[in-house]
Structure 1
Amino acid sequence: MGGDMRVGLIGAGLMGRGMGHRLIAAGHSLGVVAHHKREVIDELVAAGAREFATPAALARESDAVITCLPGTAAVEAVLFDADGAAGAARGLLVIDCSTSLPDASRDFAKRLQQQGHAFVDAPVTGGPAEAMNGQLLGLVGGEPETIERARPLLTAFCESLQVFGGIGCGHAAKLINNGLGFGILGVVSEVIATALQQRLDMPALLAMIARSGGQNRVLQGLTPWLLEGDASRPQVTVATAFKDVDYYLQLARGAGTAGPVFETVLAELRRAIDDGHGPRMLPAYPASIAARAGIKAAPER
């Protein structure tokens, strides 16, 4: 498969918006599924995409379908429900860019293969800006020949691809990466609350950490919020962090490697959700940790 492929995109949200634009810019014929949130769909249709009523209708007119959805259950539904994409004629390529469970992906691949289709898991790292600029990193799992079929589509919105092994390995790599990031977020949130309680000068503290062993990208991402109250950079909600840590724990439990650290991180994220922070972006989590100690975590903008 080369350029000008017929590709369906299911999941035109924060990430899917940029992915869709990049696919159109690369010369592919894009189809999208109707959604109650019209803004991105209307934007992509205005850019040249075709809109379809169901995943099945989309898949019938596509060489490949890319899913970028909130999680495993949503992917299963759009593939295998009565109006799902798996009902298309044989030969469809399914590329799942969602953050999902590796064992579920292996099951989906088997079910799709039985219907004459192929599957690649290719979750991505990066945010909406990187998606729009074609600068995502694709974490890929699948059979070599199927990955090569998927490459022209993935490279439309990914500046590089990293292949980790067979089907499910891309999703496993994504969960390990996200688990590490959200585990660090738990640590950062607690130490920042302590630093604030000790009345440390925050710019000086962050400058020191940047030159020391405590430096990390999670803290770097929170720096605009800590210094200026700018919460726009982390484009992940507390609820999404909870879901990803839960997925990581499911992976670790199945591998026999689960320990107390992530059980605690999951419980603390659950507590933040119970306090009403689920739909808020990630700075709400360290803010909630500080607030429990009566500390204001960031300046007002």
Structure 2
Amino acid sequence: MKKIGVIGLGNMGKGMAFSLKRGGYDVLGFDAVEVTRATISQEGLACAGSIAELAEAVDMVVLSLPTSDIVEKVVLGEDGLLRHGKKGLVIVDTTTADPNSTRRIAAELKSAGIDFVDGPVSGGPKGAATATMGMVLGGDKEVIDRIEPVLSVMSGKRVHVGPVGAGHVAKLLNNLVTGTHLLISGEAARIATAAGLDPQQIFEGLSAGSAGSKVIDNFFPTWIFNGAFNSGFTMKLMRKDLRLAMNLIRETEAPTPLAKEAGRLWAKSIEGIEDPEDFNRIVQYIEK
């Protein structure tokens, strides 16, 4: 595979596209926003004028899109990848998406000889730009092995977690755990303050103990304690992911009282923290 298409040239997609280009691949981008395409072209990345044009030219497509509905339109729409992609094409969806939608898309593509891998990512825009992000992969092992050289150029760590759809389940669980951890960590910081202590010092102690985690070790010093709140990931996106996680809980009927409460608080927080705000702002949310 020499020619790679990237659809969705936002913070994540742009970083992945340029990482692939630096890795020696011939990269063709597309974004629904014409101004974005023009800007990316000026920065040195070739852009197609349509999804159909891109699909006909590439061996593999990486999707970096906001929602499952948009993924379905891009893949299954009249001018989409299913209609215009050639047999043998591999599509890797890095979107945090609905596993049920993922499985439906994969089934339709399979009949056309096109393979679909769900590969949601972690690491934010910086991870995409530096090719250090992590990927959880759902799909056929043979297909994933075949595209491993491409994936290794755009990511730092990859874990195959099961069949198609498993990657998106893993990502939803990742964000559910992260969202829950942010809530309890925010409460821990408030408890420390109320006890007359410096929460930053207390968190250094937590980091040295069993409570240490990416939230405690990285999120708080990088984006929270310093008031930066500029991770590049919004409340809107995290709320969307938590809604999908709540759907998964309902479908599986797993007993999850704590997870359900976290989902409720994230949804309720719209009353105090608007969608465009950084997702780390949840640590400031206090239910009225």
Name the SS of the counterpart of 1:277 in structure 2: coil
Tell me if structure 2 keeps the 8 A contact 1:55–1:79. no
1:206-252 deviations in whole A, cap 9, x for unaligned?
Answer: 222222233222122123444322223x3321111111111122223
> Residue in 1 aligned with 2:30?
33
- Cα distance in 2 between the residues matched to 1:146 and 1:75: 20
Q: TM-score, normalised by structure 2?
A: 0.91
Instruction: Give the superposition deviation at 1:127.
Output: 1.7
CA distance in 2, matches of 1:138, 1:42: 29
Residue identity opposite 1:106 in structure 2: R
The alpha carbon displacement at 1:96 in A equals 0.7
Gaps spanning 5+ residues in structure 1: where? Answer: 294-301
Q: What is the letter of the counterpart of residue 105 of structure 1?
A: T
CA deviation vs aligned residue, 1:65-107 (integer Å, no higher than 9, x gap): 1101112112111111222121113332111111112222111
Aligned residues: 286
Q: Are 2:24 and 1:52 aligned?
A: no
Amino acid at match of 1:141: G
SS in 1 for 2:156: strand
Identify the residue that residue 148 of structure 2 maps to in structure 1. 151
- Superposition map of 1:108-127 within 5 A: 108-127=105-124
Among 75, 78, 84, the residue aligned to 2:80: 84
Aligned residue number for residue 139 of structure 2: 142
Whether 1:230 and 2:228 are equivalent positions in the alignment is: yes
Tell me, which stretches of 5 or more residues in structure 2 are unaligned? none
Q: CA deviation at 1:35?
A: 3.4
Residue 247 (str. 1) matches residue 214 (str. 2): no
Q: In structure 2, do the counterparts of structure 1 residues 214 and 276 end up closer, same or farther at CA, with 3 Å as the change threshold?
A: closer
Q: Contact 1:120–1:150 at 8 Å: present in 2 too?
A: no
Measured on the aligned residues, the alpha-carbon RMSD in Å equals: 2.0
Say if 2:209 is the partner of 1:212: yes
Q: Which amino acid is 1:228 matched to?
A: N
**How far, CA to CA, are the matches of 1:226 and 1:136 in structure 2?**
21
Over residues 250-284 of structure 1, what are the superposed CA-to-partner deviations in whole Å (9 max), with x where a residue is unaligned?
22322221522222212211222233421100232
Aligned to 1:298: none
Q: Secondary structure at the match of 1:30?
A: strand
User: Which has the higher mean CA deviation after the structures are superposed, 274-283 or 178-187?
Assistant: 274-283
Matched, 1:280 2:260: no
The alignment-based identity, stated in percent, is 26
Q: Distance in 2 between matches of 1:176 and 1:271?
A: 20
Secondary structure of 1:283's aligned partner: helix
Give the structure 2 partner of residue 261 of structure 1.
258
Mapped partners of 2:225, 2:122: distance in 1: 25
What secondary structure sits across from 2:157 in the alignment? Answer: strand
Q: Distance in 1 between matches of 2:74 and 2:255?
A: 31
Does the 8 Å CA contact 1:245/1:262 hold for their aligned counterparts? no
Amino acid across the alignment from 1:104: S
Counterpart AA for 2:220: L
- Listed one character per residue, the Cα deviations across residues 174-201 of structure 1 (whole Å, up to 9, x for unaligned) are 1221111111112112222333333322
Match of 2:194 among 193, 197, 208: 197
Please list the CA deviations of residues 139-174 of structure 1 after superposition, one character each: whole Å capped at 9, or x if unmatched.
111112211232222112112221112111211221
Counterpart of 1:280, as a letter, is E
